[in-house]
């Protein structure tokens, strides 16, 4: 099947004009994987995983980035710039190359997962490691892009939100209706804003009759939307949501309140446990931030929040290979050394011969 990518497939829903270059890496059209095992633990009716790690650069950021970069090119920009905890920079770097633009990324020094950094470097971006956190990097980028001829491609750019809302369209196209709950990790809060916008647009157009309740989950050490005030020194193992002052604060609160949903916090331990459960029990490898959605749903289920008849979609925002360090730490001590002989391997495995 030919999949033309987000700009072409969803053109009617996006700010696409006859002048918009239809660049693509054939992003979007990611799988909605049905849970076999974890659904039992939850006691939910149906549980699905929207696996956004299957996008070309390994995260949902590609959906919005393709729109932002195409519009920057349409508007005659030659350079795009972003602050990033990692995935935005990987995506910006790839799509900038695709469009023939150059790309500058500002990352918080030492706080970016190795896979993501390798992508920005391979795609030829100019990478500046800022001696500060994500929020510091973003305020520098906001200043520069408003005073110099450089296009901002962070999710403050409304084209990013437009592109990201297409994930909601795909969920509905797959299920034939809206799920009862949509759970996702929340960092800078662009994605929860985008999904909510997508669902609302479908309802306005009469494509769905009900809207999902939005369940946003932040990491305990970086949960400004839960406490109601910015966090000056956010801390979490889930670097993609290590954000103390979300740019789309208002969008997230509106999504929560209009949908009758919630935004709560999960601990790093709960996030890492959920990451292992997804990998071991469903065969889906995601980065730590992505596991916050399932960690949150699991926690709510233990609190008796669900009735057992609902359809729940957990958005899994990024691929596990993005952050190999954390994954290897999770498996520490699991590698067994053995001599290079069949006998030794048989012995260590404790295998018994079959008697025929
Ligand atoms: C960017 C990102 C998030 C957070 O999304 P926001 O739109 O900033 O809330 C979560 N998970 C991954 C893997 C990301 O790359």
CATH of the domain at 72: 3.40.50.1100
315 lines ligand 1 (CB under 6 A): no
Domain around 116: 61-157
Q: Which ligand 1 atom minimizes the distance to the CA of 191?
A: 7
Is position 271 within any domain? yes
pLDDT, tens digit (0-9, with 9 covering 90-100), for 155-169: 899 999 999 999 999
Which of the listed residues 102, 128, 157 is the one where a domain comes to its end?
157
| Residues 122, 24 share a domain | no
The predicted model gives 178-195 an average pLDDT of 98
155 lines ligand 1 (CB under 6 A): yes
Among 134, 118, 152, smallest CA distance to 189 is for 134
Is position 302 within any domain? yes
| Residues 86, 13 share a domain | no
- Output the residue whose Cα is nearest ligand 1's atom 15: 87
Decide if pLDDT at 14 tops 90: yes
Q: Which ligand 1 atom minimizes the distance to the CA of 318?
A: 13
Pocket test for ligand 1, best of 62, 158, 188 (most atoms within 8 A of CB): 188
157 lines ligand 1 (CB under 6 A): no
58 lines ligand 1 (CB under 6 A): no
The predicted model gives 56-78 an average pLDDT of 98
Domain count within the chain: 2
| Residues 167, 104 share a domain | no
- The mean predicted confidence, pLDDT, of the chain is 96
293 lines ligand 1 (CB under 6 A): no
- Output the residue whose Cα is nearest ligand 1's atom 13: 318
Model pLDDT, residue 355: 79
| Residues 299, 230 share a domain | yes
Model pLDDT, residue 112: 83
Is position 143 within any domain? yes
184 lines ligand 1 (CB under 6 A): no
| Residues 71, 45 share a domain | no
Ligand 1 centroid, distance to 234 Cα (angstroms): 15
Is position 115 within any domain? yes
Which of the listed residues 104, 127, 157 is the one where a domain comes to its end?
157
| Residues 165, 194 share a domain | yes
Is position 337 within any domain? no
317 lines ligand 1 (CB under 6 A): yes
The predicted model gives 280-304 an average pLDDT of 97
| Residues 115, 53 share a domain | no
Model pLDDT, residue 219: 98
Decide if pLDDT at 272 tops 90: yes
| Residues 288, 184 share a domain | yes
Model pLDDT, residue 85: 86
pLDDT, tens digit (0-9, with 9 covering 90-100), for 295-350: 999 999 999 999 999 999 999 999 999 999 999 998 888 899 999 999 999 999 99
Is position 172 within any domain? yes
Q: Which ligand 1 atom minimizes the distance to the CA of 53?
A: 13
189 lines ligand 1 (CB under 6 A): yes
Decide if pLDDT at 81 tops 90: yes
| Residues 169, 147 share a domain | no
Ligand 1 centroid, distance to 38 Cα (angstroms): 23
Is position 336 within any domain? no
Lowest mean pLDDT among 46-55, 132-141, 180-189: 132-141
Decide if pLDDT at 138 tops 80: yes
| Residues 201, 138 share a domain | no
The predicted model gives 287-292 an average pLDDT of 98
| Residues 197, 270 share a domain | yes
Which of the listed residues 136, 157, 178 is the one where a domain comes to its end?
157
59 lines ligand 1 (CB under 6 A): yes
Ligand 1 centroid, distance to 307 Cα (angstroms): 29
Is position 231 within any domain? yes
| Residues 115, 47 share a domain | no
318 lines ligand 1 (CB under 6 A): yes
């Amino acid at each position: 099947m030919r999949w033309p990518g987000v700009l072409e497939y969803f053109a009617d829903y996006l700010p696409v004009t006859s002048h918009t270059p239809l660049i693509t890496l054939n992003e979007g059209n990611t799988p909605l994987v049905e849970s076999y095992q974890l659904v039992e633990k939850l006691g939910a009716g149906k549980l699905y995983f929207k696996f956004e790690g299957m996008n070309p650069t390994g995260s949902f950021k590609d959906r919005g980035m393709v729109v932002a970069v195409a519009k920057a090119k349409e508007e005659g920009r030659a350079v795009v710039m972003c602050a990033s905890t990692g995935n935005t920079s990987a995506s910006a770097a790839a799509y900038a190359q695709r469009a023939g633009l150059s790309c500058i990324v500002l990352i918080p020094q030492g706080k970016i997962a190795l896979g993501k950094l390798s992508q920005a470097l391979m795609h030829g971006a100019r990478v500046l490691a800022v001696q500060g956190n994500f929020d510091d990097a973003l305020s520098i980028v906001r200043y520069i892009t408003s005073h110099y001829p450089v296009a901002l491609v962070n999710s403050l750019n409304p084209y990013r939100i437009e592109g990201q809302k297409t994930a909601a369209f795909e969920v509905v196209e797959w299920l034939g209706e809206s799920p009862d709950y949509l759970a996702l990790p929340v960092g800078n809060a662009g994605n929860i804003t985008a999904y909510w916008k997508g669902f609302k647009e479908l309802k306005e157009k009469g494509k769905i009759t009900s809207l999902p309740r939005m369940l946003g989950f932040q990491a305990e050490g970086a949960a400004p939307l839960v406490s109601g005030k910015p966090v000056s020194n956010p801390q979490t193992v889930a670097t993609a949501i290590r954000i103390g002052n979300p740019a789309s604060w208002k969008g997230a609160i509106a999504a929560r309140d209009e949908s009758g949903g919630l935004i709560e916090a999960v601990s790093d331990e709960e996030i890492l446990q959920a990451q292992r459960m997804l990998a071991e029990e469903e065969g889906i490898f995601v980065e730590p931030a992505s596991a916050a959605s399932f960690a949150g749903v699991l926690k709510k289920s233990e609190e008796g929040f669900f009735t057992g008849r609902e359809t729940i979609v957990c958005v899994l925002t990024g691929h596990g290979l993005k952050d190999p360090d954390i994954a290897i730490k999770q498996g520490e001590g699991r590698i067994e050394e053995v001599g290079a002989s069949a006998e030794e391997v048989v012995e260590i495995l404790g295998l018994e011969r079959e008697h025929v």
